[in-house]
Amino acid sequence: MHNIETLNKFLKDELSATETYQQALDKLREDVGASEAEVLTPIYEDHKQAVSSLQALISRLGGTPCEDSGAWGTWAKIVQGSANLLGKETALKALQSGEKSGAEAYEEALEESELSSDIHTLIETKLLPAQQAHIRTLDRLLGAETE
């Protein structure tokens, strides 16, 4: 049961990420010359893929995947909406903060011995490396913003 609860927590985080990136992408596409949208679209797609992977694993383990991001998703959308109003750099920093939080959650989960090998493998081979790549991409974008 603990495995399914953990996976559903990750699923909520990933659903929140897809909603937040969708909001940020919509805002960037509205802005003239938003090449960041092209850079952020693969990150959005990675989070959608993570949602699919987590849903499949939860179902395979006999659980019911959650369908929405819950209170955290609502909070993330409010934060991102406010960041979008404050400008591109603030919006990117909000996305980066969310990615770092997700990476930390995955790293903590890898230290738990009671998680199944399926979950460890998914985190080690897909979820955590993707989060780390997203952080590097956002770091580059933010570096370009401050130059």
Of 14 and 145, the one with more pLDDT: 14
110-140 confidence digits (pLDDT tens): 998 788 888 999 999 999 999 999 999 999 9
Residue 19 has pLDDT above 90, yes or no: no
Q: What does the DSSP 8-state code read for residue 89?
A: H
Rg (CA), the chain: 15
When pLDDT is cut at 50, 70 and 90, the band that residue 48 belongs to is very high
52-100 confidence digits (pLDDT tens): 999 999 999 999 999 887 766 666 667 777 766 777 778 788 889 889 9
* Nearest-angstrom CA–CA distance, 84 and 62: 39
Residue 145 has pLDDT above 90, yes or no: no
Domains of the chain: 2-146 (1.20.1260.10)
Rounded to the nearest 5 degrees, what angle is found at the Cα of 90, between the Cα atoms of 68 and 33? 95
Residue 36 has pLDDT above 80, yes or no: no
Report the half-sphere exposure of 75 (CA within 13 A, side-chain side). 6
- b/e burial code for range 82-120 (CB count within 10 A of at least 16 → b): ebbeeebebbbbbbbebbeebbebbeebeeeeebeeebe
Of 138 and 142, the one with more pLDDT: 138
pLDDT of residue 94: 84
DSSP per residue, 127-144: IHHHHHHHHHHHHHHHHH
When pLDDT is cut at 50, 70 and 90, the band that residue 23 belongs to is confident
* Nearest-angstrom CA–CA distance, 58 and 145: 39
Q: What does the DSSP 8-state code read for residue 126?
A: I
Question: How much is the pTM?
Answer: 0.86
